[in-house]
Copies of this chain bind each other. A is one copy, B any other.
Amino acid sequence: VSNKPLSPRELRLWHAFKLMGDEVLARVGSDLEKDAGLSGAEFGVLSRLRGMGRGELRQQHLADSMHWHKSRLSHQLTRMQERGYLERRPAAEGGVMVSLTELGREVLEAAYPVHAKSVRAHLLDRLSSKQEDALVSISNRVTNPEEED
């Protein structure tokens, strides 16, 4: 890979890309915080617990699915446990099982529509259907460059 200075065109692309990511994440995060009382990270954890595990998951599995380091997840779960959103207990297979509390479920249900609306407003509704397709294929290629498209 070359390390020559980025051309103006390359620089523009990089800045536009970074700005888009920063802004969309910040806007969705702040809608979620404001209208559902959850951070983006909290919503991610809760929705995975519900969607992937019907309410509970092994901590390791959760960390992998979020592409998070274990210590990041551990700190995050500690805070969420203090807020009453989830519980942890030793898992039969070893490791730790994480499960939603009743409060966690309620907060998550209330957050879904807020999240959906925000993602539409700040990303989905701004794209043509061609752009949607292009964005999917770009994301796949960038995240996982070996695979065929």
Chain A positions within 8 Å of B, measured between CB atoms, are 1-6, 10, 12-14, 16-25, 67, 112-117, 119-127, 131-132, 134-143, 145
Contact = CB atoms under 8 A, between A and B. Distances in A.
B1 A138 contact: no
A70 B20 CA distance: 20
Contacts of A21: 20-21, 24-25
Contacts of A1: 117, 120-121, 125
B132 A135 contact: no
Contact of A14 (B4, B22, B113, B123): B123
Q: Is the interface of A mostly helix, strand, loop or mixed?
A: helix
Contact of A139 (B20, B115, B140): B20
A121 to B, nearest CB: 5
Given A3-B113, A117-B1, A124 B20 contact: no
A132 B18 contact: no
A66 to B, nearest CB: 10
Contacts of A121: 1
